[in-house]
């Protein structure tokens, strides 16, 4: 792949991540967005490095002030407790891509392992950042159980489903992409 194509694909997946934040899966209590699906797919399809670059571009676009995050955008978004998940998407896409594309034709099992590793990284960074912002910026330390409930228990079922769906989609898209290259 030449550099021009790499630049375009990174831009394309950054745009897709922005769109993913606005597609909501209608679930009665907690509707969740497809953001994780698109950022993980960036890793699966583009590979670790380029996938992480594209998610990084998405974050920069949001920080520049374009309202592409779920709650708007702007430099002040760094101070939102949920920003850690966004940073996690970037690191997660890198890990997912590295694991998935280590072999030319990954099996579904490998893809699942890759997406779940990415998920673990997203949550680790997300929860750590949430705790950090509450502890040091907002100044009201959260208890372990509150943190566990808000950052993990309420969101994890939807994201586990998304990981499985992502692996299935990746299995179908990766051959198409490698064919067109």
Partner 1 sequence: MKPVIQLGRYIPAHTIIHRLDPRIKFILTMEMITVLCLGKTFLLFALTAVLIIFAAALARISLFSLIQTILPIFGIVSFTVGVNIFFIEGKTVLWQWRFLRISQEGLYFAAFICSRIMLLVTASSLMTFTTAPIELTDGLEYLLRPLNRLGFPAGAFAMTLNIALRFIPILQEETQKIMQAQIARGASFGTGGLFKRAKAFIPIIIPLFISALQRAEDLALAMEARCYHAGKARTRMHPLCCSRSDIHIFTVCNAVFVFLMWMDSRFAY
- Contact residues toward partner 1 (CB under 8 A) are 3-12, 14-16, 18-19, 22-27, 34, 37, 41, 45, 53-54, 57-58, 60-61, 64-68, 71-72, 74-76, 79-82, 138-140, 157-158, 161-162, 164-165, 168-169, 172-173, 176-177, 180
Q: Among residues 114 and 174, whose Cβ is nearest to partner 1?
A: 174
Tell me the closest approach of the beta carbon of residue 86 to partner 1, in angstroms.
14
What gap in Å lies between CA 15 and CA 153, rounded to an integer?
29
Tell me the closest approach of the beta carbon of residue 121 to partner 1, in angstroms.
21
From residue 163, how far is each of 3, 57, 108, 142, 181 by CA, in Å? Answer: 30, 22, 12, 28, 26
Tell me the closest approach of the beta carbon of residue 177 to partner 1, in angstroms.
7
Segments of 15-155 assigned E as strands: 24-25, 32-33
Tell me the closest approach of the beta carbon of residue 109 to partner 1, in angstroms.
19
């Amino acid at each position: 792949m030449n550099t021009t194509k790499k630049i375009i694909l990174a831009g394309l997946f950054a745009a897709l991540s922005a769109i993913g934040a606005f597609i909501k899966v209608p679930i009665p209590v907690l509707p969740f967005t497809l953001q994780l699906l698109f950022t993980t797919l960036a890793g699966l399809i583009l590979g670790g490095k380029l996938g992480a670059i594209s998610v990084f571009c998405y974050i920069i676009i949001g920080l520049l002030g374009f309202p592409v995050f779920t709650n708007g955008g702007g430099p002040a978004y760094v101070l939102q407790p949920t920003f850690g998940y966004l940073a996690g998407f970037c690191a997660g896409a890198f890990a997912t891509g590295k694991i998935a594309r280590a072999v030319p034709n990954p099996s579904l099992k490998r893809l699942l392992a890759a997406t779940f590793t990415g998920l673990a990284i997203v949550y680790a960074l997300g929860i750590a950042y949430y705790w950090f912002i509450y502890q040091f910026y907002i100044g009201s330390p959260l208890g372990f159980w509150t943190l566990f409930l808000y950052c993990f228990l309420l969101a994890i079922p939807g994201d586990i489903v998304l990981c499985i769906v992502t692996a299935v989609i990746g299995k179908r898209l990766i051959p198409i992409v490698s064919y067109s290259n």
